[in-house]
Structures are given as C-alpha cells and as structure tokens.
A and B are shown apart, each in its own frame.
Chain A
Amino acid sequence: GQQLNQSPQSMFIQEGEDVSMNCTSSSIFNTWLWYKQDPGEGPVLLIALYKAGELTSNGRLTAQFGITRKDSFLNISASIPSDVGIYFCAGQVNNNDMRFGAGTRLTVKP
C-alpha cells in the first residue's frame, strides 16, 4: 500500500529553535495522526486531527489537518533536548487502513 511522503528526513537544530515538518499524499485521509518514537521504544501519540482545516495544539506542538485532506504539518516551538527522536505522521482512511510516513529524525543541539 502507498506510504506517505514525509519531509524533511532529518533535521539538526539548535535548542530554542522552532521546527516544522510535513506529510503529503495523493490520497485523501479521514484522520491525521502524529507520533514520536524514541530509540528502542514504540511510537507515542502526540496529536490526532479529525477534520479538514483543524488546527490542534499540545503544549509546544501544533499540528494542522490540510484543507484538501491530503496533507498535514507539525510544528514544534522553542525546541528542547528531550524533543530528540523520530516523528511519524500517519493518515487513516478507516480503522483498518492507516498509512505511515518514513519519519523525520530530529536532533537538538544544546
């Protein structure tokens, strides 16, 4: 099945900087999800988006469900060292059909 196009693949930023990453697809999704994965651990859900155009925040994280339903972005403001990890987007058509991006590896330099 088709996976999502997630960019950038990796980012190296200074502590305190803002970060932006996005996912695009040629398919329409009903739900967009953003997960964070630490090395050797499972992905942890950060934000879930359920409506086109929806903008949702979770602390320093903000994500938007694209108006075309084919894309989503995640912003992290004022990054800190513990933001290090791999961020995955996921688009969900229904309960049994969820597609994942390849991940954005974030490195934060103190």
Chain B
Amino acid sequence: DGGITQSPKYLFRKEGQNVTLSCEQNLNHDAMYWYRQDPGQGLRLIYYSQIVNDFQKGDIAEGYSVSREKKESFPLTVTSAQKNPTAFYLCASSMGQDNQPQHFGDGTRLSIL
C-alpha cells in the first residue's frame, strides 16, 4: 500500500530529553512537511523540505530540528529547547509542484512525563 507512515503512534518525553519522530513515505513525493496540531487550532508548519538535503523553517521551528538524507524519510527531532512539546504531530507529503495537495500520515502524539 502506498502511503505515509509515522512512528511511534505515542511517545513520551522526559525533561531535558530529545526525541525523534519518524516519517516515511513510499509515494515518490518530492516535498515533505511537519505540522503541529493543538486542540482548537489549525495545523502549524514546523519545517518543510522540497528536495533531499534541503529543508526550510516553517512558522514554529524553534526547538525542533529535521534532516532529509533520503527522499522517503523526513525525521523530526523535538529538542529539550522546546518547552511546550505536548501536541499531536503530523507529517505530510506532496508531489512538490504548485497546487498539488498534501497528504498526511496518522500522526504521533507526544506527551511529557
């Protein structure tokens, strides 16, 4: 099945700890995105990547880092600098051309221990 796979489904972080959320897609999409979802709010863009080895900050990049070493993979690290990391994190991908819609994974819920 083609799609976007996020793992783990649930993740717990201790104080001062960095955690990494995985996102893999087999849709052959060029562009990948990370969003944060908080209750009652629209999705907010953390980072995006148009091509391998290139990525750009979104609206709320502080306290997060990403890498794009392979086309299929776009992991997100939530660092200890992110003071309010509890949220639902969504990864998306698209063909990378204008007006092509983004398709989403099933999300990772991150909580603080």
* In contact, B100 and A95 (Cβ under 8 angstroms): yes
Interface size class of A (residues with CB under 8 A): 20 to 34
Complex alpha-carbon distance, A1 and B61, angstroms: 13
User: Beyond A43-B90, A95-B98, A96-B50, is A4–B42 a contact (Cβ under 8 Å)?
Assistant: yes
A76 within 8 A of B: no
Complex alpha-carbon distance, A101 and B40, angstroms: 10
User: Beyond A3-B42, A100-B42, is A92–B107 a contact (Cβ under 8 Å)?
Assistant: no
B87 within 8 A of A: no
Contacts of B97 in A (CB 8 A): 95
Contacts of B31 in A (CB 8 A): 95-96
Complex alpha-carbon distance, A1 and B56, angstroms: 15
* In contact, B101 and A100 (Cβ under 8 angstroms): no
Interface size class of B (residues with CB under 8 A): 20 to 34
Complex alpha-carbon distance, A89 and B10, angstroms: 26
Complex alpha-carbon distance, A35 and B45, angstroms: 16
Of residues 59 to 113 in B, which have CB atoms within 8 Å of A's CB atoms? 59, 90, 92, 94, 96-107, 109
Contacts of B50 in A (CB 8 A): 95-96
* In contact, B48 and A96 (Cβ under 8 angstroms): yes
Complex alpha-carbon distance, A4 and B43, angstroms: 11
* In contact, B43 and A41 (Cβ under 8 angstroms): no
Stretch of A11-19, A44-52, A67-75 that contacts chain B: A44-52
Complex alpha-carbon distance, A88 and B104, angstroms: 13
A14 nearest CB across to chain B (Å):
25
Which residues of A approach B to under 8 Å, CB–CB?
1, 3-4, 6, 9, 30-31, 33, 35, 40-45, 48, 50, 88, 92, 94-96, 98-103
Interface contacts beyond A41-B107, A103-B40: sample of 18 additional A-B pairs, CB < 8 Å, sorted by A? A1-B59, A3-B42, A4-B42, A31-B99, A31-B101, A35-B104, A40-B106, A41-B106, A43-B90, A45-B101, A95-B99, A95-B100, A96-B56, A98-B45, A99-B42, A100-B43, A102-B40, A102-B42
Which residues of B approach A to under 8 Å, CB–CB?
4, 6, 31, 40-43, 45, 48, 50, 56, 59, 90, 92, 94, 96-107, 109
